[in-house]
Structure 1
Amino acid sequence: MSTVIVLAKAPVPGRVKTRLCPPFTPEEAAELAAAALSDSLGIAAAAAADHRLLVLDGEPDFELRLAYLDAGFIREPQVTGTLDVRIAAAFADAARLDPGPALLIGMDTPQASASVLDDALAAMTVRPGHDAAFAPAEDGGFWALGLREPAHPRTAALLLGVPMSRSDTGAVQLRRLEQAGLDVLHLPMLRDVDTADCAYAAAELAPDTAFARRLAGIDARMRSA
């Protein structure tokens, strides 16, 4: 049994994707965040996991509620705290749901694919397999993190205290896993959608996504204004 976790913020203007502003308005940044979250939910829904968990900061609007319910997600609220605390709590939520392998992704990589998630889940499910999965982001962070045994007593020590939103965040997190003696599966590096340049790069890599279509629509509005 396995679980895929999507860790996300409700797409509220002024609270999400603020680094996209400018050139985008807070409302347009929220539109792009909503599309990226829709893609992330679709990727997670298509993965061969037994359970799907949306750990959400904020309250979902009607459209988001329909999306995660239709895809079979269970929703849990994010705890208050720094990102490392929220990630640790998300894995604890998954462990309460099922003690099997859990894989966490964010809402920042709409260009990801379900096949990569499947590779990670399969690698952590088979024996001997891998104890963890790690996917670096180009900015020095990570876009996916998996643990074979999220209920293990060592999990908190693997996650808590990792400095977030720094150029060495991913390196520190990976070192934690390796120093604990875990056999880590390395997943492909992707670029988070944090800035306008990142947004256009992600859309170019995945032109059939909701994110790419929403970005094209916003572009068209900007040109006609």
Structure 2
Amino acid sequence: MIGRRLFLAGLAVTATAAAGTRQQVRLELPAPTGRHRVGVTDFHLIDGSRPDPRAPEKPYRELMVTVRYPAQRVGGHPVAPHMTRALAEHFAHTAARGTVAIPPRIPVGSVDWAATPTHSHRNAPVELGSGPLPVLLCSPGHLMSRAFGALLAEDLASHGYAVVCLDHTHDPTEVEFPGGRIEVNRQADLPPSPLHGLVQGPHERTPPGDDWRDSGVFREMRESR
């Protein structure tokens, strides 16, 4: 819930500024507050000793993991996007449908999800001047991508932590693997979580056709500014 609200906070602010116009919303992540520059790298992990519990036809389990950390230097290391173009295009349709993680139905084309840069520099060398880094694990909630934790992970990394965020393949609405392959949620046949009503209350649902900028989540954020 916290990760989702942090992710949507920037959209709420930007959407308020763009309300009443036809311009496509572009998001900006707040800058980290620590003294360190931030590096980031992704890992594709494969466990060949067991099948995927959510895709039994696959004889292995695979995960995508992102690690953010304090960087020694960032020159020559480009800033990573919040979402790749392929992931953003898929997520745009997820956001249009609305889910537990993204309750408002945001029309496709309203937000340029691929246009948001992070403050993390791809494969920058790790700063180890003070010795081994403390490690924090970021495990997203149901239907949520590790991308939702980028804002918090960057800030923690800027304060000297190594932050490991993973996607639980086939639980998020989409996970991108090397080569642009997208794996989607495969739990549609499972019974709903007993927490579903707590996570997505009636005040957070947006009926089809309603303005997504006036949905409960965004309205609540605007009023709290």
Q: Is the pair's TM-score, using the shorter chain for normalization, greater than 0.5?
A: no
Higher helix residue share: 1
TM-score (norm 2): 0.26
Higher strand residue share: 2
TM-score (norm 1): 0.26
- Structure with the greater relative contact order (CA < 8 A, sep ≥ 6): 1 or 2? 2
The structure with more radius of gyration: 2
